[in-house]
């Protein structure tokens, strides 16, 4: 059965959101989500890295299968992701130094962002074609960015609210993330 691109896109962005449903990429989700501007930059960087990862990982997987060494998949994907993140870091440093400074330590952390590696492995497990893999990866990244920006907007708004002392900081962030995850569960019947 051929899955439609629309189902891949809606499923990846809303139904199986990488952060809110699959719990991948929680570290940058909680760490970079204090400002909307930084969240948008991180979302764009992750989208770029995930798209490139799909384009590179899919043919590499075909080679690994052909050579009978598909057990090397995780190590090969980690090396590819690390190289791609270094490339993104160099490009951002040249093109947008302010965004590079705003992302700070979190840009190199894309290398260890389990969402990027998870998506590369999931697209192979789902047996998607190259085009479906790219659509899936970009859609997952858009879902990640959407969750990140929504969460950052809520956190910015919470800075102006009277939050009980016991809930300030991380506790209110976790409660907010939980409520956001429940809101995304409302999309679960779409695909």
Average pLDDT, the chain: 88
DSSP state of 22: S
Alpha-helical segments (H) within the chain: 5-10, 26-31, 36-67, 73-95, 97-103, 114-125, 130-158, 170-185
Q: Which of 28-37, 47-56, 151-160 has the lowest mean pLDDT?
A: 28-37
Assess whether pLDDT exceeds 80 at residue 99.
Answer: no
Assess whether pLDDT exceeds 90 at residue 8.
Answer: yes
Q: For residue 47, name the pLDDT band (cuts at 50, 70, 90).
A: confident
Tell me the whole-structure pTM to 2 decimals.
0.86
């Amino acid at each position: 059965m051929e899955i439609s691109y629309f189902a891949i896109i809606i499923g990846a962005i809303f139904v199986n959101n990488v952060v809110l449903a699959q719990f991948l990429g929680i570290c940058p989700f909680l760490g970079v989500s204090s400002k909307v501007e930084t969240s948008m930059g991180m979302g764009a960087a992750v989208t770029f890295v995930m798209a490139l990862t799909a384009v590179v990982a899919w043919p590499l997987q075909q080679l690994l299968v052909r050579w009978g060494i598909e057990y090397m998949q995780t190590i090969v994907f980690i090396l590819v992701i690390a190289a791609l993140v270094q490339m993104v870091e160099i490009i951002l440093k040249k093109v947008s130094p302010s965004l590079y400074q705003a992302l700070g330590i979190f840009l190199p952390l894309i290398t260890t962002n389990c969402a990027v590696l998870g998506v590369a492995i999931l697209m192979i497990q789902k047996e998607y074609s190259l085009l479906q893999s790219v659509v899936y990866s970009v859609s997952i990244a858009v879902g990640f960015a959407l969750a990140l920006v929504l969460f950052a907007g809520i956190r910015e708004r919470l800075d102006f609210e009277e939050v009980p002392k016991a809930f300030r900081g991380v506790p209110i962030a976790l409660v907010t993330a939980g409520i956001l995850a429940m809101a995304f569960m409302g999309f679960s019947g779409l695909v």
